[in-house]
Structure 1
Amino acid sequence: MGRSQIEKQKTHERIVTLAAKRLREEGLEGIGVADLMKEAGLTVGGFYKHFASRDELVAEAMETAIGSWRQQQEDRGIDPESVPLNDYIDNYLSERHRDHCGEGCAYAALTADMARSSDAVRAVATEGLRRNFASMAARMPQPETEEARRKAIIASCLMTGALGLARVANDEALSDEILETVKLFIKEMPQAK
């Protein structure tokens, strides 16, 4: 790959990474191409050198957002699959995760938006759900069982909903209570060891 192709790829990745963050902060309809390209230090015309449409960018950005936790762990030299369930729960249901929406879980930030989005975005989200449920089930005792998968789906849904509701609450004490209550509930589940 020539130098110009490498630079184009780096620029493309920078746009996608920025879009993944901004979409989690503002919603799928919350930021336009012009604003995004300006923030990236590029012109609107340059957008079409990288993407055929805004929908293409959104789908790619959602894939990046959905895989961001895994990528963050790998960048730190941590195998994401080796993170124990209780540590995963503590990190997910933390004040830091609640307060940094643009760096966190795309599902907690954008569930309703993704449900109303294009087939391409919903396909990316569906594949992400499959991977997340499998990863969560792998953290359970007897991970290959139907019960582990069932508990993984329940825990994932509880955690995503709790984080979203904790972000909704404008009462910090209530927000903290939501996080702590669900954190303790999941840890007390028979499979959450």
Structure 2
Amino acid sequence: MGHSQTQKQETHERIVQLAAQRFRELGLEGLSIANLMKEVGLTHGGFYKHFESRDHLVAEALATALESSNSQARAGKTATFQALVAAYLSKRHRDSPGTGCAIGALVNDMGRAGEEARALYTAQVRKSLSRIGQRLSATDDSGHDAEAIVALSAMVGALGLARAVDDPALSGKILATVQDYLLALDASSATDD
């Protein structure tokens, strides 16, 4: 790969990484291409040297954001259901949407996204449900589809509410209450098995 081709690839990666962060912070419609390119240090016209359309950028940035979530999950910091819930429903995660879970950050945008982006998002939801199901207390192989769906829905919903309200005490209470509920539900499920 020539020097200019290497530079183009590096610039492309910078655009995608920044877009992945900004989309999680601002939503899919909250980021303008002009502002993104300005932040990267390029002109708006330079965008089309890297992407066919905005939809292609959205899909590529979404794939990057989702892979970031996968990498964090593989890192083992959330090896147990309890650790996963505690990390997801933390003030740190609430306050860091740009580096946090793309499922939670973009849940309200995906219904209006293009087919490719929705397919990527759906695949990630399936992976997350599988990971949660594997972490739930179980003594058999029956799976925990319903519990995983409830847990993911509760975590994403609580994170969204905690980010949306303007009362820090209420925000913290939302996170803590749902965390306590999910951990009690998991403990109850473990004793039922």
**How does the TM-score come out when normalised to structure 2?**
0.88
Q: Distance in 1 between matches of 2:142 and 2:3?
A: 50
Structure 2 CA distance, aligned partners of 1:66 and 1:191?
29
Match of 1:115 in 2: 111
What is the distance in 1 between the residues matched to 2:136 and 2:64? Answer: 26
Aligned to 1:96: 92
Displacement after TM superposition at 1:34 (Å) = 1.0
Change (3 A) 1:169 1:12: same
The verdict on how the C-alpha distance between 1:107 and 1:144 changes in structure 2, with shifts beyond 3 A counting, is: farther
Residues 29-78 of structure 1, C-alpha deviations (whole Å, 9 max, x = no match)? 1111111011011222221121100011011111222222333466xxx3
Aligned partner of 1:165 in structure 2 is 161
1:140 CA drift (Å): 2.0
**Residue of structure 2 in register with 1:136 after alignment:** 132
Q: How does 1:62-101 map to 2 (within 5 A)?
A: 62-72=62-72, 78-79=75-76, 83-101=79-97
**Please, which moves more after superposition, 129-138 or 146-155?**
146-155
Counterpart position of 1:34:
34
1:14 paired with 2:14, answer yes
How many pairs does the alignment contain? 189
Partner AA of 1:114 in structure 2: M
**Identity value in percent:** 48
Amino acid at match of 1:65: A
Distance 1:132 1:143 in 2: 20
Q: If the length of structure 1 is used for normalisation, what is the TM-score?
A: 0.88
5+ residue gaps in structure 2?
Answer: none
Amino acid at match of 1:53: S
1:55–1:173 Cα change, 3 Å: same
- Residue 154 (structure 1) shift: 1.0
Q: Which residue of 2 aligns with 1:155?
A: 151
Alpha-carbon distance in 2 for matches of 1:30, 1:144: 45
Structure 1 contact 86–192 (Cα < 8 Å) conserved: no
Task: After superposition, give the CA deviation of every residue in 1:150-180 in whole Å (9 maximum; x if it has no partner).
Answer: 2111101100000000111111111111000
8 Å Cα contact 1:16/1:57 also seen in 2? yes
Which of 145, 160, 182 lines up with 2:178 in the alignment? 182
Stretches of structure 1 that go unaligned for 5 or more consecutive residues are: none
SS of the residue 1:101 aligns to? coil
Matched residue, 1:50: 50
2-side partners of 1:38 and 1:99: how far apart? 25
Tell me the distance in 2 between the aligned counterparts of 1:39 and 1:174.
34
How far off its partner does 1:142 sit?
A: 3.4
Across the aligned residues of Structure 1 and Structure 2, the Cα RMSD in angstroms comes to: 2.1
Q: Secondary structure at the match of 2:137?
A: coil
